Structure 1
Amino acid sequence: MAEPRGPRAVPTAARLAVTAAVAGAVVCALPVLRGGVSWPAVALLAGLYALCEWPARCPVLAGRVDVPVASGSFFPVLLAAVFLLPPAAAALVAVPGALVASVDEEPRRLRRAWRAAQLALAASAAAGAHVLLGGRAALGGRDPGAAPDFPYVLLPAAGAALVFCLVLTALDGLILTTAERRPVGTAWRGLLLRSLAPHCVHGLAGLMMAVLWRSRFGPPAALFVLLPMYISCWVFAQYHRERAAHQATIRALVQAVDIKDRYTRGHSERVGRASELIARELGMAEGRLEVIRFAGILHDVGKLGVPTRVLRKDGPLTPEERAVIELHPEYGHEMVRGIGFLGEARAAVLHHHERLDGSGYPYGLVGTQIPEAARVVAVADAFDAMTSTRSYRRARPVAAAVTELERCAGTQFDPRMVAGLVRALSRHGWHVEVTADEPGAAQARGNVPPPRQTRPPAPARPDPAASAPGPGPRPSNPQGA
Structure 2
Amino acid sequence: MRSVPATARAYILCAAVCTVLCALPALRGDVPIPWRALTLLAALYALCELPARCRHFGALVPVGAGSFFPVLLAASFLLPPAVATLVAVPGALLGRVERRPSGVRRVWRAAQVALATWATAQTYVLLGGGRALETPGGGDFPYALVPAAAGALAFCLVLTVLEAGILATAERLPLRIAWRGLLLRSLVPHLVHGLAGLMMAVLWRSPYGPVSALFVLLPMYISCWLFAQYHRERSAHQATIRALVQAVDLKDRYTRGHSERVGRASVLIARQLRMADDRLEVIRFAGILHDVGKLGVPTRLLRKDGPLTPDERRVIELHPEYGHEIVRGIGFLGEARSAILHHHERMDGSGYPYGLVGQEIPEFARVVAVADAFDAMTSTRSYSRGRPVEVALAELRRCAGTQFDPRMVEALVRALERHGWETEVTSDETVLPVPVPVPGAQEGVRGIPPQPGRPPERVAAHGRGDGAAGGSA
TM-score, structure 2 length as denominator? 0.89
Q: How does 1:390-469 map to 2 (within 5 A)?
A: 390-440=381-431, 460=446
**Hey, what's the Cα distance between the residues in 2 that align with 1:476 and 1:265?**
16
Deviation at residue 181 of structure 1 after TM alignment: 2.3
Equivalent residue, structure 2, for 1:55: 51
Q: 1:110 aligns with which of 77, 93, 104?
A: 104
Deviation at 1:144, TM superposition (A): 4.4
Alpha-carbon deviation of 1:13?
A: 2.2
Instruction: Please say if residues 352 and 377 of structure 1, whose CA atoms lie closer than 8 Å, have aligned partners that are also in contact.
Output: yes
Q: Which residue of 2 aligns with 1:474?
A: 458
1:39 aligns with 2:25: no
In structure 2, give the amino acid aligned to 1:306. V
* Secondary structure of 1:348 counterpart: helix
The correspondence for 1:349, drawn from 320, 340, 344, is: 340
- The whole-number CA distance in structure 2 between the counterparts of 1:89 and 1:75 is 16
Given candidates 283, 287, 294, the residue that maps to 1:303 is 294
Distance in 1 (alpha carbons) for counterparts of 2:146 and 2:161: 22
Among 162, 179, 187, the alignment partner of 2:170 is: 179
What residue identity is the alignment partner of 2:82? A
Q: Which amino acid aligns with 1:28?
A: C
Q: When the two structures are aligned, how many residues end up with a matched partner?
A: 445
2:313 is the counterpart of 1:322? yes
Q: In the alignment, does 2:266 pair up with 1:275? A: yes
Equivalent position of 1:454 in the other structure: none
How far apart are 1:134 and its partner, in Å? 2.0
Does residue 23 in structure 1 map to residue 14 in structure 2? no
8 Å contact 1:262–1:437 — kept in the other structure? no
- What is residue 467 of structure 2 aligned with on the other side? none
- Secondary structure of 1:55's counterpart equals coil
CA distance in 1, matches of 2:215, 2:49: 18
- Taking the aligned partners of 1:124 and 1:55, their CA distance within structure 2 comes to 25
Shift of 1:49: 0.1
Structure 2: runs of 5 or more not aligned: 54-61, 438-444, 464-470
Q: CA deviation at 1:182?
A: 2.2
Name the counterpart of 1:61. none
Does structure 1 retain, via aligned residues, the 8 Å contact 2:301–2:312?
yes
TM-score under structure 1 length normalisation: 0.87
Distance 1:420 1:258 in 2: 28
Q: Percent identity at matched positions?
A: 71
Cα distance change of structure 1 residues 211 and 392 upon mapping to structure 2, 3 Å threshold: same
C-alpha separation in 1, matches of 2:193 and 2:256: 42
Is 2:194 the counterpart of 1:203?
yes
AA aligned opposite 1:338: G
Deviation of the 1:71 alpha carbon = 6.8
CA–CA distance in structure 2, aligned partners of residues 463 and 81 of structure 1: 74
**Distance change (3 Å), C-alpha of 1:121 and 1:473:** closer
- Report if the CA contact (8 A) 2:42-2:91 is conserved: yes
Once the two structures are TM-superposed, the CA of residue 214 in structure 1 deviates from its matched residue by 1.5
Map 1:55-94 onto structure 2 (within 5 A).
Answer: 55=51, 70=64, 74-94=68-88
Structure 1 match to 2:123: 129
* 4+ runs deviating over 6 angstroms: none
Which one-letter code corresponds to 2:105 in the other structure? R
Query: Shift of the alpha carbon at 1:477?
Result: 4.7
Unpaired runs of at least 5, structure 1 = 58-67, 450-458, 465-469
Cα deviation, residue 405, structure 1? 0.8
Q: What do the CA deviations read for 1:35-60 (whole angstroms, capped 9, x no partner)?
A: 33311001100000001112259xxx
CA distance in 2: counterparts of 1:247 and 1:273, whole angstroms: 15
Match of 1:219 among 210, 226, 235: 210
Q: Compute the displacement of 1:124 (Å).
A: 0.4
Matched, 1:145 2:137: yes
Q: Which amino acid in 2 is paired with 1:475?
A: V
CA contact (8 A) 1:296 1:377 kept: yes
Between the aligned partners of 1:184 and 1:88, the Cα distance in structure 2 is 30
Alignment of 1:157-176 (within 5 A): 157-176=148-167
Question: 1:379: Cα distance to partner?
Answer: 0.5
CA distance in 2, matches of 1:428, 1:129: 41
